[in-house]
Structure 1
Amino acid sequence: MIVESSSDSARKIFFRVLGPLRVCLGKREAVLPESRQLTVLAVLVTEVNKAVPLGRLVDAVWGDTPPVTADKQIQTCVWRVRKALVQAGSRADLIETVRGGYRLRLPDGCVDTQLFEQLRERGRARARAGDPVGAVGDYRAALALFRGEPLAGLASRALEPVAAYWAERRLTLLEECFDVELALGHHRELVGELSLLVDEHPLREQFRWHLMAALYLSDRRADALAVYHAGRAALISHVGLDPCARLQDLHQRIIAGDPVLQPETVAYPGLVLRGVS
């Protein structure tokens, strides 16, 4: 999804960091320089509209062992990034030189992380207003902005916390989305996606809860119980803990054949997770 700004100075430009770093200008994609320049640009994009000190850029590129010429090399990196963006159709002053550093100045909606947050908040508002279908549409549109691991391919320890932050935002939004989709009765459609997520994140108990519920609601009680026991074994093996109380409660409900109710649905007026009695 690429949003065109009404501002002529930054029209059509869109930065993607929810995956490998990409810059699109209309239908064109900028040919970006080698990894050092990519790292500098990544820091500027993730701090969009903020002044980034030169020292932070040096740290992102070289960590604890910068060369004596680091400041001048960062200046060269910025020059090359500017040149690449201009060749792709950007204005020359997109990256501003400010006191002690640089700033990437963009209107709102020109970075995929901004769109992610906008769609996430709109989805939450729709869920609260009793529009679960609209909420799921916004949640799924936000999740579709991810094209792999955030900032994939950039080997910079300074960027690792940023990448981890956005990866966690994705997983958290998936959990919210599954709450609403299960409440809508989409359990059969979710089994495959949830199975993959549980395999990828075996200690994430919320995904396991969703998978167990989806299987149970799909008349697959034995499979739901098997998912519980596999999760319990993984938790005990890795952290020495039993499943959380919520998972244990669901496990008992499935054994007893009781309806499955999802406490979170109280936040979504009019939604009741269909149970099995």
Structure 2
Amino acid sequence: MWWDGRRVPLGTPKQLTLVAALVLAQGRPVPLGRLIERIWGSEPPRAAHSSLYTYVARLRRLLRTHCPGLAVIARTATSYALEVDPTRVDLHQARLVLAAARLATDNGRDADAVRLYRQALRLWQGEPLCGLRGSWAERTQAGLRQERLTALSGWFGAELRLGRHAEVLGELSAAVGEYPLDEVLAGLLMVSLHRSERHADALATFNRIRADLADQLGVDPGASLRRLHSQLLH
């Protein structure tokens, strides 16, 4: 975690999982049993409750020492909640900005949408929950990666509607390299390449994702991507 330009160590992976579970709850109380399941999985140790109390006590000390005024861990008889200003958490702030970007898109304000998407994506740095293990962490990582992918698709779509295919071609190509099986990004790259007079590269992008989908998932491209491919051929 970063606070005022300093990296604050938050302890072991299990303690970091506690932090993630509390932060992602956005201030809502998280039942003790749910925290234990997220930290230890479906078969927690007998001492899970006492270990959880220890992790919370350590986290409170760390926050008081290194991040005064940032957050308070509140407790009831059955839950914990992390009370923190959402604007101090990059993920929460990014989600607020993304909501504004989607609204701008819906209202036909693509220039505003581009600005907001860029602002949100600047907050979305690094691999989410990096280093954490367990089924909950893995599911959450996958969900967060999907959120970022949706934001990228929204941003590039707005850029292309504004005719900025040449300006974003490099970043769009990099995004497709990061998400090679995503058909929406592949389609946007095909359009960008086609508009940049790189017709062969546009068709090669389709052939590449078709082969990857068949090899890795055993499926063909969806109807939208096949229709785009046919349009570019003609």
For normalisation by structure 1, the TM-score amounts to 0.78
CA distance in 2, matches of 1:253, 1:143: 31
Report matched runs for 1:123-202 at 5 Å: 123-202=101-180
Shift of 1:58: 1.8
Q: CA deviation at 1:234?
A: 2.0
Moved more, 94-103 or 213-222: 94-103
Say whether the 8 Å CA contact 2:181–2:212 is kept in structure 1. yes
CA RMSD of aligned residues (A): 2.0
Percent of aligned pairs with the same amino acid: 37
Is the contact made by 1:31 and 1:88 (CA closer than 8 Å) also made in structure 2?
A: no
The residue aligned with 1:261 is none
Distance 1:195 1:75, change over 3 A: same
Moved over 4 A (4+): none
Contact 1:49–1:106 (CA under 8 A) maintained in structure 2: yes
Alignment partners' CA distance in 1, 2:133 and 2:205:
36
Rg bigger for which structure? 1
Residue 265 of structure 1 corresponds to none
1:105 partner SS: strand
Higher helix share: 2
Query: Structure 2, unaligned stretches of length 5 or more?
Result: none
| CA shift in 2, pair 1:68/1:90, >3 Å | same
For 1:238 and 1:155, the matched residues in 2 are separated by: 24
Q: What does the per-residue CA deviation read over 1:91-125, in whole Å, with 9 as the maximum and x for residues that have no partner? A: 49700111212111123323222211211111122
| Conserved? CA contact 1:28–1:88, under 8 Å | no
* From 13, 31, 35, the counterpart of 2:9: 31
Q: Indicate which of 20, 28, 33 corresponds to 1:50.
A: 28
1:122 aligns with 2:123: no
Amino acid at match of 2:130: A
Residue number in structure 1 paired with 2:227: 249
The whole-number CA distance in structure 2 between the counterparts of 1:188 and 1:100 is 55
Whether the 8 Å contact between 2:102 and 2:113 is mirrored in structure 1 is yes
Number of equivalent positions: 234
- 2:227 pairs with 1:229: no
For 1:202-235, what per-residue CA distance to the aligned partner results, in whole angstroms no more than 9, with x for missing partners?
3211111011100000001111111112222222
Cα drift, residue 76 of structure 1? 0.8
Q: Distance in 2 between matches of 1:137 and 1:78?
A: 39
Alignment-mate amino acid for residue 210 of structure 1: L
Compute the displacement of 1:246 (Å): 1.8
Give how far 1:49 is off: 1.5
Q: Structure 1 residues 221, 46: CA separation in 2 closer, same or farther (over 3 Å shift)? A: same
Between the aligned partners of 2:5 and 2:173, the Cα distance in structure 1 is: 36
Stretch deviating more after TM superposition (105-114 or 204-213): 105-114
Q: Residue by residue, what CA displacement relative to the aligned partner does 1:123-182 show, whole Å, maximum 9, x if unpaired?
A: 122223332221101011111112222111112322222222111011011111111101
Q: Distance in 1 between matches of 2:71 and 2:173?
A: 47
1:63 to 41, 53, 61: 41
Letter of the 2:80 partner, please give it: Y
Q: Distance in 1 between matches of 2:107 and 2:185?
A: 25
The structure whose RCO (Cα within 8 Å, separation 6+) is larger is 1
With over 3 angstroms needed to count, the CA separation of the structure-2 counterparts of 1:178 and 1:214, relative to structure 1, is same
Q: Which ranges in structure 1 are unaligned for 5 or more consecutive residues?
A: 1-21, 257-277
Secondary structure class of the residue paired with 1:151: coil
